[in-house]
Structure 1
Amino acid sequence: MAEGPKSQMPARRKARKRALDVLYEADQRDLPPVEVLAGYLQRLTPPPPEHLEYAIGLVEGVAGRLDRIDELIASYTEGWTLDRMPVVDRNLARIAVYELLYVDEIDDAVAISEAVELAKQMSTDDSPRFLNGVLGRIAEYATR
């Protein structure tokens, strides 16, 4: 089958975007991510998208390790608290840190570049550079 147009988002990026949507909503509404995920899944119309399994894994993985992930982000964001970070950036960082630490089949460079790309599309002008720096430092820590 022929490859779709270049504007078509790769499956894992779509999964990250869906995970971001769920984590963003959970963060904004101060609800557990798995609760928001359950509601999200109920609203989906069949057939489920092929990338859904990876998105679910990201949300559940971040939710299950949120304290550790947030602790790492907070310790590597020089001069910033998690609360001061834009909600999009905070949740992109959470997804990327989860991938850096717990998803072996994703290269560190891919996890970082995907977070940066989504930040370019969805956050502030400063966000890509900020996330690249923070995630780069966390990746160095993770490979020690």
Structure 2
Amino acid sequence: MATRRRAREVVLQMLYEADINPGREPESSLDFITRRMRGRKALAEFAQSLLRGTLLHRDKIDQELARYATHWSLSRMAVTDRNILRLGAYEILVGGTPGRVAINEAVDLARRYGDRNSARFVNGVLDKLLHSQPVAEKAKG
């Protein structure tokens, strides 16, 4: 069964790949998403939107994450954690997902794909990011 959580997992895979192998054609990533969503057009569009948006805003997102990842540079983070943070930050800053939902989804990804400290780390960084937003933005979460 495909869900938005599954869509985020697929996007995480594509973000991970883009991070370690930036030469992949964007069309092949979008085709991969479509296949993984097994014909669920709305979920494929949601996932494609997350991927495009996260990649498009990656520089801005990385600047924000660097501000709130105390004592951690992005280059020192585990690739999985870094990309979970990017996805969560995109959803908070640009994607329109309520902040708490974005954090909960990111923490669930970190529990599943990160190490034993990833969930706590992701939660802390994204919580700081969410609380740094103007009041109108926080109201969404």
Fold match, TM over 0.5? Answer: yes
Q: Equivalent residue for 1:135?
A: 126
Looking at CA atoms only, which structure, 1 or 2, has the larger radius of gyration?
A: 1
Q: Which residue does 2:67 correspond to in 1?
A: 75
Query: Is the CA contact (8 Å cut-off) linking 1:100 and 1:142 kept in structure 2?
Result: no
Find the aligned partners of 1:92 and 1:107 in 2 and give their Cα distance. 16
CA contact (8 A) 2:7 2:47 kept: yes
Distance 1:142 1:80 in 2: 21
TM-score, normalisation: structure 1: 0.83
Measure, in 2, the Cα distance between the counterparts of 1:111 and 1:143.
17
Counterpart among 81, 85, 88 of residue 89 in structure 1: 81
Q: Which 5+ residue runs of structure 2 have no aligned equivalent? A: 136-141
* % same residue: 36
Deviations 1:110-132 (A, max 9, x none): 10010001110111100000000
Match of 2:110 in 1: 119
**Superposed CA RMSD:** 1.9
The amino acid across from 2:118 in the alignment is: S
Instruction: Give the helix-richer structure, 1 or 2.
Output: 2
CA distance in 2, matches of 1:65, 1:78: 21
Which one-letter code corresponds to 2:109 in the other structure?
A: L
Report the TM-score when normalising by structure 2: 0.85
Tell me the distance in 1 between the aligned counterparts of 2:38 and 2:131: 40
Residues 1-144 of structure 1: pairs in structure 2 closer than 5 A: 11-31=3-23, 35=25, 37-43=26-32, 45=35, 48-50=39-41, 51-104=43-96, 106-144=97-135
